[in-house]
Amino acid sequence: MAEHLKHQLDIGKARIVDAPRVDNLASPAAEIDRSFNLPKGLYFGTVAGYLGFLALMSAAFMNPVLIIPMVIFAGFIVAGFGVPAIFTRLKGNDSKAMTWGEFESRGIMTNTGKLAPRDAAVQVLILPALIVLWGMAIVTIAALVS
């Protein structure tokens, strides 16, 4: 819970100090990594899952009124993955994404520790897979109800 420090400042229990000085800041020449260190196939699988959901919804519920929104949704998905793909090709980005061989042999280091390739692939692809399954459930329910 937050509390006001004015009283503590007045009686001398609290004091204001300067921020600590940091001498070892990263140099501007530090390596910039924009590749996310995952194989391209995982990104293609993710995009395929999201676009597959849109295709499923379009095929099941298509109405001429929905053409423009579906194209806009697809555009957002492509842009959401296309812009970071462009970032990996910018000048000054010396890092490259892992190949499948490197990914299978080394795995990937995450914030919580080393992750096996299978586990990393599951983490990346679980949301698109669940969304496609959700779309299939919606289409099935709509077909059974109508």
Residue 32: CB atoms within 10 Å? 13
State residue 48's pLDDT score: 96
State residue 7's pLDDT score: 73
What's the 3-state SS for 80-97? HHHHHHHHCCCCCCCCCC
State residue 20's pLDDT score: 78
Query: How is 39-85 classified by DSSP, letter by letter?
Result: -HHHHHHHHHHHHHHHHHHHHHH--GGGHHHHHHHHHHHHHHHHHHH
State residue 1's pLDDT score: 47
Residue 46: band (very low, low, confident or very high) from pLDDT cuts 50, 70, 90: very high
**Predicted confidence (pLDDT) at residue 103 exceeds the cutoff of 50:** yes
State residue 52's pLDDT score: 97
Comparing 55-64, 92-101, 127-136, the range with the smallest average pLDDT is 92-101
Find out whether 97 and 37 touch, Cβ atoms under 8 Å.
Answer: yes
Buried b (16+ CB within 10 A) or exposed e, 125-141: eeebeebbeebeeeeee
Distance separating alpha carbons of residues 23 and 93, to the nearest angstrom: 26
User: Once rounded to an integer, what is the mean pLDDT over residues 72-96?
Assistant: 87
The domain ranges of the chain are 32-145
User: Once rounded to an integer, what is the mean pLDDT over residues 95-124?
Assistant: 87
Residue 28: band (very low, low, confident or very high) from pLDDT cuts 50, 70, 90: low
